[in-house]
Structure 1
Amino acid sequence: MRDVADESGAFPPLDRLLPVLRPVRAGNGFEEALEQILQVVRLGLVPEGGRLPPERELAERLGISRVTLREVLKVLQEQGVVEARRGRYGGTFVLPRTAPADGEELRRRAARTDMEDVLLFREVLETGAAGLCAGRGLDEGGAARLRTALIATHEAPLPEYRRIDTLFHLTLAELSGSPSLSARYAAVRAAVNDLLDCIPLLVRNLEHAQRQHTALVEAVLDGDEEAARAVMREHCAGTAALLRGFLA
């Protein structure tokens, strides 16, 4: 018996999805929910043409609001992963997978990258840099540079966002006071950007990232090393969730 929605309006049993769907962490609810639903689709737990469980059940299982879930589903619709249909037998249906021709080279490049190693190394370097900046403290010039880099990310036009976001993170690494850390971060960030080029810019995710950037700068300038590390760790986890969702 197929788990595809039919004229009876049946949905795939939620228990089949339980190994993938789990309550998300509060800090990255949108990103982790997106990651999990993409995993459901890519693992074939809901086949092409199949219907996702009702919004109420999905939201309860993921531990998020229905508003957040609808934002996740909207992104998946915009990316051609699912389709919303109205009517008696409506719902959210999985579309056939297609790969854009102009994205093939980017995906080949991503396939040559050990994504998990890159993401882990990035987290180690970024949390280390954040902790060093907060623990050592920044002089007036360093604090001004960090604030300026933060403001630039808030003012960046969408096509320029990733470049300016990169500069923000490179500034933090440089201000850590370790030239070795700064050099290694520049290399790992290049690998991260290769991966990010393979996925879409999501406005909801960027808004969330901006709030995390702001909290990070506040923690650094307050000299709160523990908070700076925690915010950066959560920030890296959000990006990792998106990359795994789209590319894993």
Structure 2
Amino acid sequence: MEQLQFESGVLAPPPVRRGNAFEETIQRLLQGLKLGIYAAGTRLPPERELAAQLGVSRATLRDALAELQAAGYLQSRRGRYGGTFAAPVLPEPAVQTLGSGTEDVEDVLLFRSIVEPAAARLAAQATLTPAARSHLLAALAEVDEANTDTFRPKDARFHIAVAELSGSPRLVAAVADVRAQTSDLLDRIPLLQRNLDHSQAQHRELAGAILKGDADAAEAAAAVHLEGTARLLRGFLT
């Protein structure tokens, strides 16, 4: 867990410092709720102040607050004493299919952070046939066309398609296995539309790097994309 800091006598989450600003903002807010920095039923700091604390734009903060309100972690009240309030009781995660400990989540995220960027690098280094290129673009298009009910399986299929271009059946099997475990974790957290849009933009960047044969860019794009997912899972589940 990352270091917290005192600000004006109040314990505050550290500012967002890297990419995936929306996902990291969600993680920071959830951390604050779970640790009691934003105590149950109390009002969060004003929007301008909270955005400054987190080091994000007010637009990013508003998107994060709206998603957490829809998921039941926050409440919005109008009027003179209105604002954004921590829910009196935080929602319980969905039924788990993996182990319940933080170690289980972290083990999946660690293994994924190793095998998927490696698969992306190998895919970009491969000599891709027209059929292989079409295969990757078809998987990308399927995610583009997916709705909230089908996004996650189509998303998983895209990641496996990247691994398939690596030319290593064992690596494909490893990516498929860890992606299945990731899907089990993702099924336990809310679908956030802003995150889905952001993820697909990152999918396009990853596919573009692979098709251009830029191995460094492909590996980096995969790592940044996985970090966003990891931040959401850590925020909601740990």
Confirm or deny a common fold (TM above 0.5).
yes
What are structure 2's unaligned runs of at least 5 residues? 1-5
Distance in 1, Cα, partners of 2:86 & 2:7: 15
Q: Percentage identity across aligned positions? A: 48
Q: Pairwise CA RMSD of aligned residues?
A: 1.8
**Partners of 1:184 and 1:119 in 2: how far apart?**
13
Q: How does 1:78-97 map to 2 (within 5 A)?
A: 78-97=70-89
Instruction: Count residues with an aligned counterpart.
Output: 232
Output the CA distance in 2 between the equivalents of 1:92 and 1:193: 31
User: Which of the numbers 55, 59, 73 marks the counterpart of 2:51?
Assistant: 59
Please say which of residues 226-235 and 180-189 is displaced more in the overlay.
180-189
1:24 aligns with 2:25: no
1:67 partner letter: A
Per-residue CA deviation, residues 98-126 of structure 1 (Å, 9 max, x unaligned), is 446xx6523x6451561111101101111
1:150-175 deviation line (CA, Å, top 9, x unaligned)? 00100012201111111111111111
Greater radius of gyration (CA): 1
SS of the residue corresponding to residue 89 of structure 1 reads coil
Please list the CA deviations of residues 171-216 of structure 1 after superposition, one character each: whole Å capped at 9, or x if unmatched.
1111111111111111111111110010011110000001000011
For the Cα contact (< 8 Å) 2:42–2:86, is it kept in 1?
yes
Q: What's the TM-score once normalised by structure 2's chain length?
A: 0.92
Question: In structure 2, what is the Cα distance between the partners aligned to 1:120 and 1:82?
Answer: 30
Equivalent runs, 1:60-139 vs 2, <5 Å: 60-99=52-91, 104-106=94-96, 109-111=98-100, 114-139=104-129
User: For residue 7 of structure 1, what is the aligned residue in structure 2?
Assistant: none
**Where do residues 92-241 of structure 1 align in structure 2 (5 Å cutoff)?**
92-99=84-91, 104-106=94-96, 109-111=98-100, 114-241=104-231
Aligned partners of 1:74 and 1:175: how far apart in 2? 38
Answer whether contact 1:24 1:33 (CA < 8 A) is retained.
Answer: no
SS in 2 for 1:50: coil
Q: Which has the higher helix share?
A: 1
Contact 1:52/1:92 (8 A) holds in 2: yes
Q: Following TM superposition, where does structure 1 have runs of at least 4 consecutive aligned residues deviating by more than 6 angstroms?
A: none
Contact 2:30 2:236 in 1 (8 A): yes
User: Any idea what SS the aligned residue of 2:95 has?
Assistant: helix
